[in-house]
Structure 1
Amino acid sequence: MARYQQRLEKSRPILDLFSERLNEQKDRVLPKRALGKAITYCLNQWNHLEAFLLDGHLEIDNNRSERFIEPFVIGRKNWMFSNTQRGARGSAIMYSVVGTAKEYGLSPYHYLRYLFETLPNMDVTNKEELDKVLPRSTDVPSICKVPGKREANKKIVPKTQF
C-alpha cells in the first residue's frame, strides 16, 4: 500500500506533465517523422505505460522478466541444432522449469533431482498432487531451497504460472 501511495504522489505528476507535453507536441511535428511516430506510439501505449500506477504490487519496469527470458534468447541459437522439434520443445521446458525454480529461490539442481525422484511415483493427472511439487508449493523439501534467498517472489507470481 505504501508503494502504491508513493507512486501516486511522485510518479503521477511526472506522467501527467509528460502526457501534457506529448499532446502539445503532437500537433507541432510532422506525423511521418521519427519524433511524430514516437509521440503517436507513446500516446497509443499510454494505458500500458501507466499500468504500474494501478497496483503497488506491479513492477515499474520489466527487468525481472528480461532476466528471466535471457536464457531463452541465448539458447535460441542452440535450439537450431536440436535434431527434432520434440527435442527443442524439451529444452524449452527445461529452461522454463529451471527459471521458475530460480524465481522461487530454489536450487535448480536439487529441485530437478527432487522432481526426478518424485514424479515417477505419483499420478501426474491428479492436479492437487501435482501442485505439491510445483516450485511455489510449501511442500517442496527444504533441501531444494537456496539458503538466505529471499522468498518475496512467492507473493507476486500468480498461481496460474509454473
Structure 2
Amino acid sequence: MFANTAKGATSSAIIYSIIETAKANNIVVEKYLVYLFDNLSKIDMQDSDSLGNLMPWSHKIPEDMKIKDKK
C-alpha cells in the first residue's frame, strides 16, 4: 500500500520479516540489525552455516542482544 514499486514492497517485506523474527526470538531489534549488517559483509553468502549463525534463533547470537526474562 505504501510502496511505490514491487521491488520496494519486497524490500519492505524482507525488513519487516527480519524485525518481527528478531522480536519473536527475544532479540533487541536495533542491536540485532547492527550486528546483522556488520557481519553480512564479512561472510560467504553461499555458506549456509555462516548464514545460519546470523539467524535470530542461533545460539551464536551474542548474549547482550537477547532480552532478559523478567522474573
Q: Does 1:105 align with 2:26?
A: yes
Question: Cα offset for 1:138?
Answer: 0.4
CA–CA separation in structure 1 for the residues paired with 2:37 and 2:55: 13
Q: How many residues align?
A: 70
SS in 1 for 2:57: coil
Question: Cα offset for 1:101?
Answer: 0.6
CA–CA separation in structure 1 for the residues paired with 2:59 and 2:43: 18
Which one of the candidate residues 53, 62, 66 is aligned to 1:141? 62
Uncovered stretches (5+) of structure 2, i.e. residues with no partner = none
Larger RCO (CA within 8 A; separation ≥ 6): 2
Query: TM-score with structure 1 length normalisation?
Result: 0.41
Instruction: Name the structure where helix makes up a greater proportion of residues.
Output: 1
CA–CA separation in structure 1 for the residues paired with 2:24 and 2:63: 15
Q: Given residue 35 of structure 2, which amino acid in structure 1 is its aligned partner?
A: Y
Where has structure 1 moved over 6 Å in runs of 4 or more? none
Query: TM-score with structure 2 length normalisation?
Result: 0.90
Q: Quote the RMSD (CA, aligned, Å).
A: 1.2
Among all aligned residue pairs of Structure 1 and Structure 2, give the percentage whose two residues are the same amino acid.
39
CA–CA separation in structure 2 for the residues paired with 1:144 and 1:90: 24
